[in-house]
Structure 1
Amino acid sequence: MSQALELSRGLDPTKLRPAFERFGRLHLPGIFRDKDAQAIHAALVAAPYHRSLTASGKSYDIALDTLAAMPAERRAELEAAILEGGKTGFQYQFDAWRLSDRMEAGERSGGALDGVYDLLNSPAFLSFVRTLTRDDRCAYVDAQATRYRPGDFLTAHDDDIAGKHRLYAYVLNFTPSWRPDWGGLLAFHDADGHVSEAYTPTFNALNIFRVPQQHAVTQVASFAGAQRLSITGWIRER
């Protein structure tokens, strides 16, 4: 991108803070200028994804061409293990591309996704988050691109892992059009096992929430008319 990304000038973290403090989460539409959001969407469509999943209690990142070449019997076994794990435990399957790893390795392309990573770790964004949350510990942000296709999901979890120093989770959504009945909702669970709130993956919107907080991404329906494209990660302390 020829110009550095900026947050929408209409966002005032001081005015948004009471809602965040009350609920521990917030949905912010119109986070970028529309032309920038369109460029990010195009970059996410073209990103070199791999398959990210858990099976039999283990996590795997598998190249898409490797997965496509897998014998049918082995592929069926893998799919059965994924579905079985989803019945009772933490389980996921979606496409991912670890933007933070690429940036930390110095593998820049000068494109829109580089710009997103730079913005997330800029003084402007970190100041926005610190003001919104009243939390001066916010030091840096990691990021990965994700693509959920029909059948993909992420079961309930709270993001709280010892040693990871996760303070807040975020999702930046870039699917131009999405219907709630297509699934792919960021769903928050209450102590009674109900969905207390759920966010549709609205184009050019930021979802941010406090860690720990029980949540899931509901399975994308077989009839979904688009792919759920996003950039997601955590805001961390050192």
Structure 2
Amino acid sequence: MISNELEIEPWRTRLLRDGRAQVRDFLQASAAERIRECLEHEVPWEVSQRADLAMEGPPPAPREDGELLRAAYARARDGFEFVFDRYRMVEALRDGRDPGLLLHVVLDFLNSPQFIEFTHELTGDSRIRMVSAMAARYRPGHFLNMHNDSARDEDRAFAYVINLGRGWQADWGGQLQFFGEGGDIVETFVPHWNSLSLFRVPQMHQVTLVSPWARDDRYSIAGWFRR
């Protein structure tokens, strides 16, 4: 599933130096295309907002979607907030939902001995033992504002995003941005097709608002390499 042309050492060096890197052409082309097809046509999405609000369910109708977004923007003025569509891959596989869905195979691959060994080689962290995953779809108006990915109940070593939005342009938004100690943006990853964005946790970052004129949704598989 991973590209046979991928050279690990340059990205390992950058991760050790900067704590983040974006690897282009990460998956084999056929694998990227098939996963994208699954995300676009086969996944039963649910809308996701900040967990403590317990607002989840099928994506709303356009009028309701506008109301949902306006409420999320208002809450975002006061702190951490997000709104996007998701499919919780770990929970779905555990509960036996959606048999035959390709994402179950993807999750198994991400936790295979071969991929775990790959995470050790890429990150230099041999303590990584599992990979969590969810599918995400950011439609126009969706966002994930500033946070650092730390969690009390999980030992998250690195966060990752496998980007599967087609022909993504910088002015479409949906960019992964990193912040320095003074609050300045120190680096931005455009979610290029078939790229792997990877960064050490904790690290302050955000996914910027997807623009109304974006010509595709920002599809991805994301999660954490966990110890």
TM-score, normalisation: structure 1 = 0.88
* Counterpart in the other structure of 1:43: 38
Equivalent residues, number: 226
* Aligned mates of 1:183, 1:221 — CA distance in 2: 5
**Structure with bigger gyration radius:** 1
> Does the CA contact (< 8 Å) of 1:13 and 1:129 recur in 2?
no
- CA positional deviation for 1:213: 0.5
Counterpart-to-counterpart distance in 2, 1:157 and 1:22: 22
8 Å contact kept, 2:11–2:23? no
User: Which whole-Å CA distance do the structure 2 matches of 1:97 and 1:235 have between them?
Assistant: 18
Letter in 1 for 2:7: D
SS in 1 for 2:31: helix
Q: Which piece of structure 1 moves more, 181-190 or 81-90? A: 81-90
Map of 1:3 onto structure 2: none
Deviation at 1:32, TM superposition (A): 1.3
8 Å CA contact retained: 2:178, 2:185: yes
Of the three residues 184, 190, 201, the one matched with 1:211 is 201
- Is 1:116 paired with 2:109? no
Residue 218 of structure 2 is aligned to residue 228 of structure 1: yes
- Please give the per-residue CA displacement for 1:94-136, whole angstroms capped at 9, x wherever unaligned: 1111111111223464443223212211112111111222212
Q: Structure 1 residues 133 and 44 mapped into 2: Cα distance closer, same or farther (>3 Å)?
A: same
Report the aligned-residue RMSD.
2.1
Return the letter of the residue paired with 1:136.
S
1:84 corresponds to which of 74, 82, 89:
74
Task: Please name the residue that 1:54 is paired with.
Answer: 50
The corresponding residue for 1:166 is: 156
The CA deviation at 1:49 is: 0.3
Q: What 5-or-longer segments of structure 1 have no aligned partner?
A: 1-5
Q: Who is 2:61 aligned against? A: 68
Gaps of 5+ in 2: none
1:8-28: per-residue Cα shift (whole Å, max 9, x none)?
122233343211101101111
Deviation, 1:59, is: 4.2
Counterpart-to-counterpart distance in 2, 1:160 and 1:137: 17
Name the CA shift for 1:7/1:75 in 2 (closer, same or farther; >3 Å). Answer: closer
**Shift in Å, 1:75:** 7.2
Instruction: Name the % identity.
Output: 35
Return the letter of the residue paired with 1:13.
I
Moved more, 176-185 or 97-106: 97-106
Return the TM-score normalized by structure 2: 0.92
